[in-house]
Structure 1
Amino acid sequence: MSFTTFLKSVPAFRSLATREVERLSSQCEPVAYPQGQQIIRKGDPGDAMYVIRRGEVKVPIVDEHGREKLVIRLGAGEFFGEMALLTGEPRNADVFAETEVECLVIRRKPLQDFLHKHTGVASFLTEILGRRLLEGDGIRTVGKYRLVGELGRGGMAHVFEGLHPQLNMAVAIKMLSHELVYDEEFASRFREEAKIMAGLKHENIVEVIDSEEAYATFFIIMEKVVGTVLSRMIDTRGVIPFDETRRILSQLASALDHAHTHGIIHRDIKPANVIIEESGRVKLMDFGIAKTQKEAEQEDEDIVGTAEYMSPEQALGRKMDGRADIYSLGILAYEMLTGRLPFDSPDPYEILRRHVRDEVPSPKLLNQRVPDDLAELVRRACAKKPEDRFQRCADIVKFLQQDAPAAIDLSKARAKVFTVIYDPEREEQVTGLFRRALAEARKIRGARISISDMNRIY
């Protein structure tokens, strides 16, 4: 069996493309060990990872008095010494060949040089570290933070739940994928994200608490937000009720106005980067591709962002300012009002061309019930020329407040009660009735709606 075929059978390397595994196999040195030979000595420098190709090793685990308390045995397809590639720290256990053993040895120093040239190969380090951080007997810490579990993962980062040691407070810990660590430009951008977010203190922006560098990568420690991601809300509910849409847009505009005032352009406004807490408070997340106003004034050959929400000037790589975020916010508003995107195609370049060339249609064409003020918001926010849009996000907040329903004077308020007593067999029909009634009630500006469910009547 070739090194490439063997490595592809090992779970830690399965996520790598065949080409990347072939490159990694070029860094593997086959070494055979006779039965009983000590392969790793506790306290020795950590300089290599070992992948067992054939045979079995044993790892005695001892207590603080040096007494053996258990023995871990590893066989073909398993590996040991992997933390050497991430930290280079001294070995914390002995390893012996239980039988004749053949290992593929990946040495730390040449691998580091290799990964700077072939960054994609480094993703296996993220896979290994992710497992070690979550194992019951794993490392379980990042700097001073203790890990509790995993919250999610994507192509660029993994997010873990952690615990702040002094405040005993739950936090979210965002870990940059190793393949991006070796991309110096992206690693620099990740560090910059931590600085940018740490400087933005606003109730509608996820707060950055700290940052750490460990295990050959970078971590951003943020407040943990519990709620529903707006993209999931749209997928589940389709059209978002109009008053709720106004509340969400107003809070997002407020968050963006704060960022723009501090010279930061988000550049990736989309539902996946917005979370709604149970209280209704909105949080804007992920400043991973944000730029300072000074940086954004330079034309950019690399088009970075999400095609479906990108402003014409961003799609063309031209100079931009906060009005690019306003365009994206308008696209987001369109999606909330219709449940669909104005421009959609399997080809992202076709989407970008349409953002540059085609006017964003009125949301009323898909949903005639869209109020005039929200249709006008979309029209103005999504103007092709930045000078024809809202000029500041504060203008959007003011625009939405002009048409907001006045607070109800409870001393004069009226209430009506609608009670249905029914046979449980009619549950589906009654539920449908209440859904229709609720949908109609939500059209009444300023109305507050309450539904109670009494399972037993005495």
Structure 2
Amino acid sequence: MTEKIEPPNCWEYTQCGKEPGGANVDENGPCQAALETALDGVNNGKNAGRLCWAVDGTLCHNQTPGPEEDKISSCISCPFFQKVQEAEDQGDLRTKFLRFVTMDGKKPLMQGLEIKHVAQGERFIIQNANSEAGYIIQKGSCRILVEKDGELVAIGRRGLGEVVGVTALLTGAPYSAHVEAETPMCLWVIRRDQFEALVEKDRDLMEFLTELVADRLSADRPMADRAVGRYTAREVLGKGGFSMVYKGIHTALEMPVAIKMLHHDKALDPDFLAAFRNEAESIAKFNHENIVRVFDIEELYRTVFIIMEYLEGELLSDMIKRLGRLSPLLAADFMVQACRGLEYAHKFGIIHRDINVSNLFIQTGDRLKIMDFGIACKIGTEDFGETGTAAFMSPEQIDGDPVDERTDIYSLGLAAYEMVTGERAFPGNDIMALLDGHLERDVPDPAEKAPDLPPALRQVIMKAGKRAPDERFNKAGEIIEVLTEILPQCDLPLECATPVRKMTSLFLIYEEDKQKEVGRLTEEFSSAMKKLGVTLKAADFPDI
């Protein structure tokens, strides 16, 4: 196997001294290629220096060629660019579609494919156009460009043996970017019908492509607006091993939403797909101020999207990192809010099973929301399979015993320990040691790390974190009763208090020929409002 060549960063290759801290920075400041971080990872590089061609104003060989569009020809002849291209052409076989499908010499992929020649500078894929074909690069290279808010942004390049346009073929979505030839190119063309036949026959090929799609969609780079049913995904908010979360809007109502997408490679796994659907179905019927709301579910592009309310704030885990530890009163407040959300879910017979500081979100004004019901289950379920986060997992989950309300209470007790101490109750990254800790010890006394704890909060954390379920609180409401005694009543509204209700008037003035369309949009608006617990009243007025 050919050893992969690792090119240096451009400033290492040219010895220009224009990197941060370099010898020549004082003259004109550091080069933009050394500062740009939005495109990390393009060309398999660790930082933007390896893609100086995609950054405006780079000091190529002590000259500033200006905008990226003006320097294509100089890049093609640049020795550093050629070195990067050589490394890319010898890259990991798992990223080279051509070699993947021909390495055993038996796959008939190339039979019947037409050849397409593309001139340098020609744009052969158009962003947002319907995807009718994908391309395998036989010769040359191309640039990937995203058009967003009236500007073109280069987000990557593809070379020998790689594919472009195949992501859209796989998902059925429109093309997500423009693709332009940066050198003369020779391409194999895969039409949609050919592609569908290939992936239907070859499971390995399908799995490879879905992994490739997940990798490209999860890259931390500018993205084009993407239609998801009635919604538009506009930017990446976060990503994990199983899913991505986008910031988006309801296209007609312009209402902000969060769009959670299951990675395409996970959507092929029936268990992951079932768990993802389970999350949406578990909380779609919920309407509680301490549980993130689900508005809609869309099954498109060979995966599933959960449309949720858009939250502004931060994860509890990030807040703890930022502050070191929380004040006892704030921790008690958060614990009560979490208990209210859990008490509500438990009344529906739903156990969360993965309460931890990364699944609790703190909005502006310190309003807490419980997120991620992806492994929720019914009370009494024996806990096998997907079981939660090791640092917060209850002993009964570890043993595979039936779970109930006390399971969530245990995990919340460990989350509260971290709130008041700034440390994990069972620290470390060794999974087996963590699990043994849950089985062998109760939660440590938080007062040893936080001596200022009110006795009631200390006792709640220690009782919630008992190994034996029978020694814990039986219901989340019992914790609320204890902690509300130490909280200022004016700062924490009680469940029994009469909620404050508000009313907003909205007048629609329109031409008569628009009545049908207005009626349709009003119906959509009414449906969305009902899921928020809002009552919509309408009345027709005479002509005005």
Amino acid at match of 1:350: A
The CA deviation string for residues 108-132 of structure 1, in whole angstroms up to 9 with x for no partner, is 4433564579857622112344679
Gaps of at least 5 residues in structure 1 are 60-73, 409-458
2:420 is equivalent to residue 332 of structure 1:
no
Change in Cα spacing, 1:344 to 1:161, as seen in structure 2 (3 Å) is same
**Identity fraction in percent:** 31
Residue 126 and residue 180 in structure 1: after superposition, are their counterparts in 2 closer, same or farther (change >3 A)? Answer: same
1:273 to 359, 364, 382: 359
Q: Is the 8 A contact 1:119 1:183 kept in 2?
A: no
Q: Which residue of 2 aligns with 1:298?
A: 382
Provide Cα deviations, 1:13-57, integer angstroms capped at 9, x if missing partner: 999x968558994435456736479xx999xx9676323141368
Aligned to 1:164: 250
The CA deviation at 1:288 is 1.2
Secondary structure of the residue aligned to 1:304 is coil
User: If the length of structure 1 is used for normalisation, what is the TM-score?
Assistant: 0.72
Q: 1:357 aligns with which of 429, 440, 460?
A: 440
Is 1:27 the equivalent of 2:113?
Answer: no
Q: Is residue 171 of structure 2 the alignment partner of residue 86 of structure 1?
A: yes
Q: Equivalent residue for 1:62?
A: none
By relative contact order (CA 8 Å, sep 6+), the higher-ranking structure is: 1
Q: Which residue of 1 aligns with 2:303?
A: 217
Equivalenced residues, count: 383
Change in 2 beyond 3 A, CA 1:312/1:116 = farther
For residue 82 of structure 2, what is the aligned residue in structure 1?
Answer: none
Whole-Å Cα distance in 1 between the matches of residues 391 and 169 of structure 2?
Answer: 42
Q: Which residue of 2 aligns with 1:107?
A: 195
CA contact (8 A) 1:303 1:315 kept: no
Q: Structure 2, unaligned stretches of length 5 or more? A: 6-40, 47-90, 103-108, 145-156, 492-544
| CA shift for structure 1 position 274 | 1.1
1:250–1:396 CA contact under 8 A, matched in 2: yes
Query: Of the candidates 129, 137, 146, which is equivalent to residue 52 of structure 1?
Result: 137
> Which sits farther off after the overlay, 174-183 or 140-149?
140-149
Partner residue of 2:24?
Answer: none
Cα distance in 2, alignment partners of residues 340 and 333 from structure 1:
10
CA distance in 2, matches of 1:236, 1:144: 37
- CA separation of 1:115/1:246 partners in 2, compared to 1, >3 Å: closer, same or farther? farther
Please name the residue that 1:444 is paired with: none
| Matched residue SS, 1:367 | coil
What residue is the counterpart of 2:86 in the other structure?
A: none
Match of 1:454 in 2: none
Q: Which amino acid aligns with 1:319?
A: P
2:83 alignment counterpart: none
Aligned to 1:125: 213
Cross-structure match for 1:204? 290
5 Å matches for 1:27-426? 27=101, 29-30=109-110, 33=115, 35=117, 49-55=134-140, 76=159, 79-82=163-166, 83-87=168-172, 99=184, 101-103=186-188, 107-111=195-199, 114-115=202-203, 119=207, 122-129=210-217, 135=223, 138=224, 140-293=226-379, 296-300=380-384, 302=385, 304-405=387-488, 407=490
SS in 2 for 1:33: strand
SS in 1 for 2:396: helix
Q: Is the 8 A contact 1:178 1:216 kept in 2?
A: yes
Query: Partners of 2:313 and 2:143 in 1: how far apart?
Result: 45
Query: Is the CA contact 2:243–2:261 (under 8 Å) kept in the aligned structure 1?
Result: yes
> Which amino acid in structure 2 is aligned with residue 27 of structure 1?
V
> Deviation string for 1:307-342 (max 9, x for gaps)?
100100011222111210000000011111111112
> Which segment is superposed worse, 22-31 or 152-161?
22-31
SS at 1:206's partner residue? coil
Q: 1:363 deviation in Å? A: 0.4
1:77-132 residue CA offsets vs partner (Å, 9 max, x unmatched): 56433211111889x99999x95615496934433564579857622112344679
Partner Cα distance (1:250, 1:202) in 2: 14
**2:199 and 2:206 in contact (8 A); partners too:** no
Q: Is the 8 A contact 1:12 1:128 kept in 2?
A: no
Report if aligned partners of 1:36, 1:99 keep a CA contact under 8 Å in 2: yes
